[in-house]
Structure 1
Amino acid sequence: MSDQLPRGGVIHDIGYRHYTGPRLGRMAITQALMVSSLRHAYGIGRTGKAKVMPVLLFAVMVVPVVIIVGIENLMQFDEPQLLPVDYIFLLQPVIALYLASQAPQLFSRDLRYRSIVLYLARPPRRTDYALAKLTALVLALMVLIGVPLFILYVGALLAKYDFVDMSKQFAAGLVVALLVSILLAAIGGLIAAATPRRGFAVAAIIAVLIVSFTAVITTTAILDPEGDMSSTAARYASLGSPFSLARTVGTFLLRDHRENDWMPTTEQGLVFVGVYLLVVGLCVWGVNARYAKVARG
């Protein structure tokens, strides 16, 4: 049998063309990162297991509203039984659970798998990355809160309640929802960015929200035994919880005084607004500083 000579290698020209189109810059990349993060906050583009928690919590937020709307349209009440702003704080435990479950997914995963280094090696700066993640979390919370409020608004119109009044209540609900979303996203983002371990981040976020809420309730009960919020110290105690802080800021800015709320004076309102802005600013700065540390290695 004759020996066969080995065949030599062949280089094929497959007609590779260099990209000659427009190259997108920092803003486009940052926007794409924000959209991708928003999708991931609801499990879109991820495994079925990752969809369970956000979809379940979203259902918990929506189903009670559908039931309330059905009852209102069936019973034909003279006025709505539940206003948008009240619904936000009625289901604040669900909102807190959503924040605790999804903030680590947006912030901790990239730290755990070190993919953050790849992001920071591209044109977007660490500030762009931090703002994209924070914006995505704010929008995710707005979807979680805003959709039930919209259903409540549509149900109120179907029940033939006053259009102008219901529109004002819906707008007020959206403003308060935005205030809550921004504050919670800033706090949750900072905690989640502080550790690459998802379990630690989840526990820390839940602990912060539960401890702060419990502390405010307990302190208020001690300082204001009558329950009419006439005590100045009891009013300032509301600074200690993200939910009560956001609610008071919304009440002050909208001048929307309800039976179960207290109307802050101008001085008190400015203090609450100042603390709100300070907390959000410090949290955003903290997230950016955390990624600066990661970028330095």
Structure 2
Amino acid sequence: MSEASVIHDIGYQRYTGPRLGRGAVFGALYLHGLRASFGFGRSAKAKIFPWGVVAILNLVAVIVAAVRSQAGIVVFNYITFADAMSWLIIFFVAIVAPELVSRDMRSGVLPLYFSRPLRASDYVAAKVASMVTAVWLLLAVPQLVMFLGAAFTTKTGMSGVWDETLDLLPGWGYSLLWAVLFTSIGLLIASLTGKRAFAAGGIVAVFLMTTPVVGVLSILPSDDARHAAGLASPMTLIQGVGQWLIPTANTGLDLGSFGPVYAIEAFTLIAACLLLLLARYRKVASL
């Protein structure tokens, strides 16, 4: 004899509040990505590396500011500081990029993300924006520390502060260029695999494998080969763009007449990486 079925009312009600839409979802993804870049919302172990990088960069900035104020020696200007610290940023990106995208792929949450109202373009834009912000802050905050040290010890009053500001702003722009380049390459590579170790290794390998090519080209007897050597690596590519846009940058590259070529290649590389990243997630969203 079967028991009679019983329907229990446990109080579920339809949602009648406001539906925030794509903008709110984008903002939530952006904020989550920015927080995750620095380990917020994760274990203490996950905070060690990003905050270790933050500490090193700011310690270097404090030392540079102290040497300048006490001895009058400019160890790094704002642009050469970004160049000198770029290797640390590579390892930061190698850890953070897989955290932002590979984890989502491995855990299988992308179909949930791409259910309405979020689109693949929104997801990509939020991840790119959060990582660009994180990388830019890594460089911009120490540059601000250097600026404050120089501004408070200047001997020419407000005119010296103004001159220092005019040096800082191009430095921040140059750091943004680094951030966009690192982000576009790092996220593209990380999006290809759900395994964070493989993604991190691939990101580091791209930069390490291209750097020796620049060294080989730079010792060739041809002037054109030396001027174009920096085109072979993303690292020196951005330095070339900075040298072309800011002649006083002192990046150490001799561009000759190849300055516009560096700018065109940098724009093309960044645009290609972002378009491939978008195509990658549109393919995932259509599955």
TM-score by length of 2: 0.90
Tell me what 1:60 maps to.
Answer: 56
Tell me how far 1:256 sits from its aligned partner.
3.3
Counterpart mapping for 1:99-178 below 5 A: 99-160=93-154, 162-178=160-176
Give me the CA root mean square deviation: 2.2
Aligned equivalent of 1:294: 284
Structure number, greater radius of gyration:
1
Aligned-partner Cα distance in 1 for 2:108–2:251: 50
Report the Cα distance in structure 2 between the residues aligned to 1:60 and 1:70, rounded to whole angstroms: 15
How far apart are residue 62 of structure 1 and its match? 1.1
Q: Structure 1 residue runs of 4+, over 6 Å off?
A: none
In structure 1, the residue matched to 2:275 is 285
Which residue, out of 198, 207, 215, partners 2:205? 207
Pair 1:291–1:259, CA change in 2 (3 A) = closer
Is there any run of 5+ residues in structure 1 with no aligned partner, and where? 1-7, 225-230
2:242–2:249 CA contact under 8 A, matched in 1: no
Q: Percent identity?
A: 30
Give the secondary structure class of the aligned counterpart of 1:71. helix
By how many angstroms is 1:45 displaced?
0.9
In the alignment, the residues of structure 2 paired with residue 236 and residue 196 of structure 1 have an alpha-carbon distance, to the nearest angstrom, of 36
Distance in 2 between the 1:134 and 1:40 partners?
13
Match 2:45 to one of 49, 70, 73: 49
Deviations 1:208-263 (A, max 9, x none): 11111222123213357xxxxxx222121111221211122122223435383446
Distance of 2:221 and 2:201 partners within structure 1: 30
Q: Distance in 1 between matches of 2:91 and 2:58?
A: 15
Give TM-score, length-normalised by structure 1.
0.87
Equivalent residue, structure 2, for 1:236 = 228
In structure 2, distance between residues paired with 1:257 and 1:142: 18
Unmatched 5+ residue regions in structure 2?
none
Q: What is the match of residue 70 of structure 1?
A: 66
How far apart are the structure 1 equivalents of 2:219 and 2:28? 47
Distance 2:171 2:140 in 1: 8
| Cα pair 2:124 2:278 within 8 Å, conserved | yes
Separation in 2, partners of 1:245, 1:164:
30
